[in-house]
A and B are shown apart, each in its own frame.
Chain A
Amino acid sequence: MLANSEATMTLPEGVALHARPAALFVRTAMRFRSKIIVAANGREADAKSILSVLGLGATAGTTLLVRADGEDAAAALDALAASLAGVVE
C-alpha cells in the first residue's frame, strides 16, 4: 500500500539545519524506503541527500514542510520530527 503523508516541522531554537543536525536528519531519512522531500525557504531538497538539505539554508525557527511518499511514510515523518526535537547543539 502506498501512503502519502506530509507534516510541518519547525526547527527548535538554536537548531539550524546545517552540519550535525542536518546529518542527523538525513541519516534518519535514509532509514526509510519512502521518497522524502523537505521544503523550506521556497526550495525543495531530497531529505536523503546531505548536500541537498544543507543547500536549503534553514536556520533556527524555520518551518519545514516534509513530504513522504511510500509504505513507511508516516513512520518516517515521526522519526524525522523526533530527530529535530532531539538535537541539542
Chain B
Amino acid sequence: MAVGIVLVSHSPQLAAGLQLLAGQMAGPDVHIEPAGGGPDGGLGTSEALVREAMAQADQGEGVLLLCDLGSSILTVREILGGNGNGHFRLVDAPFVEGAVAAAVVASSGASLEEVARAAEEARDARKL
C-alpha cells in the first residue's frame, strides 16, 4: 500500500491533467485523486469534492494534499483544522513538480513523511 495523493485545484482540467501526468510516472500503486473546481463544476474549490478525494486516496498509509493557489489552500486547511493531523497532510510545494516528485516517491512504499519531504524539495529543483 502506498501513500495517497490529492490534487486540489481551482480547475477540474488542471487537477485531472496532473493526475494523469503524475499517475503515468508513479504507476498503478499510487492512488492520486483530483479535486478540481467548485460545486457547480466551474473554477473554484469545493469542500465536498476535496473530502471525497481524500477518502478515495486513502489506502491506510496516509494522504498528502497539494494545492494550486489561494482559496484551495484555505479550503483544505478548514477541512484539516490546520496543515494536517499525521494521517492527512497539506504540503507547501509547487503543484506540478511537487505532485510528480511525491507520486514517484510514494510508489516506492515510502512513508507520508518521506513523500511530503519529496514534494517540499521540489521547490529547489531547477528546470534548466
Q: Give complex CA distance A50, B100 in Å.
A: 8
Given A49-B101, A51-B100, A20:B24 Cβ within 8 A? yes
A27 CB-CB contact with B under 8 Å: yes
Interfacial residues, chain A to chain B (CB-CB below 8 A) = 19-20, 22-23, 26-27, 30-31, 49-52, 55
What does DSSP make chain B's interface, helix, strand, loop or mixed? helix
List of B residues within 8 angstroms of A55 by Cβ: 125-127
Sample 26 A-B pairs with CB under 8 A, ordered by A number. Answer: A19-B21, A19-B25, A20-B24, A22-B25, A23-B25, A23-B27, A23-B104, A26-B104, A27-B27, A27-B104, A27-B108, A31-B108, A49-B101, A49-B118, A49-B125, A50-B25, A50-B100, A50-B104, A50-B105, A51-B97, A51-B121, A51-B122, A52-B125, A55-B125, A55-B126, A55-B127
Chain B nearest CB from A36 CB (Å) reads 13
List of A residues within 8 angstroms of B107 by Cβ: 27
Q: Which B20-42 residues have C-beta < 8 A from chain A? A: 21, 24-27
Q: Which B92-128 residues have C-beta < 8 A from chain A? A: 97, 100-101, 104-105, 107-108, 118, 121-122, 125-127
List of B residues within 8 angstroms of A31 by Cβ: 108
What does DSSP make chain A's interface, helix, strand, loop or mixed? helix
Chain B: which residue is nearest A22 at the CB level? B25
Q: Give complex CA distance A20, B21 in Å.
A: 9
Chain A nearest CB from B46 CB (Å) reads 30
List of B residues within 8 angstroms of A22 by Cβ: 25
Q: Give complex CA distance A16, B96 in Å.
A: 20
**Shortest Cβ-Cβ A-B pairs, 10 listed:** A51-B125, A23-B25, A30-B108, A50-B104, A51-B101, A23-B104, A50-B101, A51-B122, A51-B97, A27-B107
Chain B nearest CB from A85 CB (Å) reads 19
List of A residues within 8 angstroms of B100 by Cβ: 50-51
List of B residues within 8 angstroms of A20 by Cβ: 24-25
Known contacts A19-B24, A19-B25, A23-B24; 9 additional CB pairs below 8 A are A20-B24, A22-B25, A26-B104, A27-B104, A31-B108, A49-B101, A50-B104, A50-B105, A51-B97
